[in-house]
Amino acid sequence: MSDNERITSLLESAKRTRQELGEELHDSLMESLYGEAARIADIVVSRPERKQRFDLDRMVDRFVTSKWTGFPLMFVLLALVFWITIIGANIPSEYISKFLIDGGRPFLKHLSAIVHLPGWLDGVLIDGAYLSAAWVIAVMLPPMAIFFPMFTLLEDFGYLPRVAFNMDALFRKAGAHGKQALTMTMGFGCNAAGVVATRIIDSPRERLIAIITNNFALCNGRWPTQILIASIFLGSVVPAQFAGMATAAGVVFIALLGVALSLIISWGLSRSVLKGEASAFSLELPPYRPPRILQTLYTSLIDRTLFVLWRAIVFALPAGIVIWLVANVTISGTSLAEYFIHATNPFAVFLGLNGVILLAYVIAIPANEIVIPTVLMLTVLTSGLHGVGSGTGVLFAMDNTAAVANILHAGGWTPLTGLCLMLFSLIHNPCSTTIYTIYKETGSTKWTTLATLLPLILGFVVCFAVALIWRAF
């Protein structure tokens, strides 16, 4: 008998025995496992004689996961975290941009003059690569350094599984897996990480739903865009003392809209291409643990803030070069950027956006983080603003929100443009890293294409509808 035959006969005999034994085997194995576990635990574990009269964990849980107080508490916590981020990030942002842009750029220009760098190289390196990287640091570092530690503290404390617990019923009604609440929460940090996190979902059907809808969790690359645009178009229409709160409320609204969309799309998918019943699962609510403040600060700074910032810088450097080039390479007197913007502007305005925003989203496919710098630079370029920043094709410093507001208003922005940009920033194709991760996790071009195009088309539709309604009134 050959090896192969012997193995086949081995498997055959296993199969025969299996049929003889039937279902009994699994059940009795499980029974003996659980029985043994209970027996050992009984010998080894000693519990207090009397049940404690007051169990703090249970008390907190009753409040945090209650039908009535659970959701409001979630909103309040979310809003509070954003409010602190928005209020706290303003001043350091200003200092960093003063240092890196007002200070760093002239210094580098000076150096390049000393070594007689050719004009185009000076432009590509300093006005393109350096400035876009500097801008990304100034805009992203302070909010992230505040947001991530707070988020990590909540995570360390044990709040995330409670959020999942609260959301579970909603996801189940949408035909999705309750654990999708957890992967979505991961997506609030980074969608690529959220997509990888869907591995905790057993059923392939529900896992695909979680992957496709993860993009609707607003990732940290998009928080700064939301915060900035909300401060300009929401914060400035209310009295100054409420500006922070109005901005936070606007951002929370967009984030919640993302959650709602993720539920709606899940519902749609589970009733069309990904039909099926939601599977049950058990979610363990871990005990609350006092967060370790210092350790949390350290790990969230190293793991998240610096990691994300580094990624942003890596993408901002080449993007800065591309921006400088499209703004400065001209064909018969008109730059490439202007060609694109003029060609797409009618379509974009129809959607409540403009050509600048569309071009920015094309350039920023590798990383959402650089959308705002790109938008500002292109706006200056096409609206022919002078005396702002440093002229054509140069990303400039944002000293304060008001300066940015002035530029955007000069570029013909209306509150509708701001609103549609916030919506489009939430609803558009995932960044290239996430697309690649989706491909790696699903191994399917079909699902990757769907996950990429579905939000993009939806974004166009939503912006168009909002613009239509806006103009009707």
Partner 1 sequence: MEKGTENTAAAACETCPLNRQASLVKLGISMDDVDFVIALAGNPNTGKSTVFNSLTGLHQHTGNWPGKTVTRAEGAYSYNEKKYKIVDLPGTYSLLSTSVDEEVARDFILFGQPDVTVIVTEATRLERNLNLLLQVLEITDRAVVCVNLIDEARRHHIGVDDRALARELGVPVVLTAARQGEGIPELLQNIHQVATGEFVCKPQRLKSVPTKLMRAAEELSGKILEQFPGLPNARWVAFRLLEGDQRMIDAVRTGELAALMRSQVTTHE
Interface residues with partner 1 (CB under 8 A) are 3, 6-8, 10-11, 13-15, 17-18, 20-21, 24-26, 28-29, 31-38, 40-41, 43-48, 52, 152, 155-158, 160-161, 164, 179, 182, 196-197, 199-202, 283-284, 286-287, 289, 292, 298-299, 302-303
Nearest to 376 by CA among 356, 348, 361, 390: 356
* 204 versus 391: smaller Cβ distance to partner 1: 204
- The CA distance from 411 to 90, in Å, is 24
The distance of closest approach from Cβ of residue 291 to partner 1 in the complex, given in angstroms and rounded to an integer, is 9
Task: CB nearer to partner 1: give 36 or 102.
Answer: 36
d(CA 429, CA 431): 7
For partner 1, the closer CB: 4 or 272: 4
Give the nearest distance from C-beta 198 to partner 1 in angstroms. 8
Minimum CB separation of residue 451 from partner 1 in Å reads 18
**Closest by CA position to 363, among listed 400, 324, 389:** 324
Q: Which is nearer to partner 1, 211 or 381 (CB)?
A: 211
Report, in Å, the least distance between residue 59 CB and partner 1: 14
Q: Give CA torsion, residues 286, 290, 294, 300, to 10 deg.
A: 30
Nearer to partner 1, 18 or 62 (CB): 18
Q: What minimum distance in Å lies between the beta carbon of 367 and partner 1?
A: 21
- Position 175, amino acid: G
Instruction: Report how far Cα 333 is from the mean position of its chain's Cα atoms.
Output: 39
Q: What tokens appear for 36 in the block?
A: 């043994």
The residue (of 158 and 366) whose beta carbon lies closer to partner 1 is 158
Max distance between CA atoms of the chain, in angstroms, equals: 89
Closest alpha carbon to 338 in 371, 366, 380, 368:
380
Residue 151 CB, shortest distance to partner 1, in Å, is 10
- Chain-centre distance for alpha carbon 440: 19
Report, in Å, the least distance between residue 233 CB and partner 1: 35
- Cβ pair 263, 171 in contact under 8 A: yes
Q: Is 428 left (phi over 0), alpha (psi -120 to 50) or beta?
A: beta
Q: Which of 441, 303, 33, 402 is nearest to 25 (CA)?
A: 33
Identify which of residues 10 and 461 has a Cβ nearer to partner 1 in the complex.
10
